[in-house]
Amino acid sequence: MGGLSVIAPPAGDTASRPHRRARRAFLVSNYLILGAASGCGFLTLSLRLVPSVDGFLLILLHALTRVVVEGDGGRGDRREPRHRARALAARLAERGLTVVLTARDAARGEAAAAPLLERGLAVAVRRLDVADAASVAEFAAWLRDDVGGLDILVNNAAVSFNEIDTNSVEHAETVLRTNFYGAKMLTEALLPLFRQSPATSRILNISSQLGLLNKLRDPSLRSLLLDEDRLTESAIEGMVARFLSEVKDGTWSDPGRGWPKVWTDYAVSKLALNAYSRLLARRLQARGQRVSVNCFCPGFTRTDMTKGWGKRTADEVADVGARLALLPPDELPTGTFFRWCTPQLYSKL
């Protein structure tokens, strides 16, 4: 992914600056769609660019069913808002945006939306299961027929069945199906629906530094993922299939296999997502399509998946996520991995 790119987080009024800046740059009347898988999920954001001062953002947020982790809950004062998707929705709704909340379980979606509604924010609920091809197809059809398309897609999917200090691969297939295949399936389903505009459509994949290539200890796989001539969707899926095969026969942890040591199944899912993002950025560029594709690692965040442990709150991550989602066209790269370090964001392969 691209070269070094430094973007300092906004100072002062972080809740309002990204939207003010976006409207000044785009003259927007917007549809903003946020979607997700269980837990941290997928966010889909659509920004419709038309010359209008009275713009609005329609946000579709899916992912507020809880992540499938035993003992869901926090520890003491670590019980904070943990859903990055919900926090980002709140940031945007606080600016007067309209929010549609989706979840696999509509009742849970309504429960998740309740606190936002109590604050007077405009929120609605819609069902979506991103791990289900039929559900994704139904959602894409609704987006096409009822909304008319999208301009920004943020894939925020992440599930893990590990405790902070464990490394089980018992649920590796589910982790890969959600974190990689789910993100890819939703992205490919929505690609034909991206509207072409001077402001450039954008895809932002929420990833992890656990998926950086330096975590992969197999030189041949690392070389494959670095080689632009050999990197293909088949190669990426072949790597995933090899890992799952070794999980099944119990050889994944044998000396010399070279898989990441920490949260191995989760790390492999993010390795695959990062590689797919880089490949997709190159594919869209070659076709002349004005769609940027980038990844963002928010760092160790206090979510249900981390059992409330972490250096940052979901609200802090939402501040930065909102800014990245609404970057002006002249600041928008493609093929870039943004890693949050204090006090800056920078790209790193």
Residues annotated as catalytic are 266
H helix or E strand, kind and range, residue 98: strand 98-103
Taking the CA atoms of 121, 125, 130 and 136 in sequence, report the sign of the dihedral they define.
negative
Residue 9 C-alpha from the chain's centroid: 18
Q: How far is CA 179 from CA 79, 104, 149, 162, 341, in A?
A: 25, 16, 24, 14, 23
The tally of CA atoms less than 13 A away on the side-chain side of residue 272 is 30
Residue linked to tokens 């038309």: 50
201: β partners: 291
Q: 123 — phi, psi (to 5°)?
A: -135, 135
Instruction: Report the amino acid identity of residue 254.
Output: D
Helix ranges (H only) for the chain are 17-26, 84-93, 106-118, 133-142, 172-176, 183-190, 219-226, 233-249, 264-286, 314-325
Sheet with 98-103, edge to edge strand ranges? 6-7, 344-347, 336-341, 291-297, 201-206, 152-155, 43-45, 58-62, 98-103, 122-127
Q: Taking Cα atoms as reference points, which of 257, 226, 225 lies closest to residue 244? A: 257
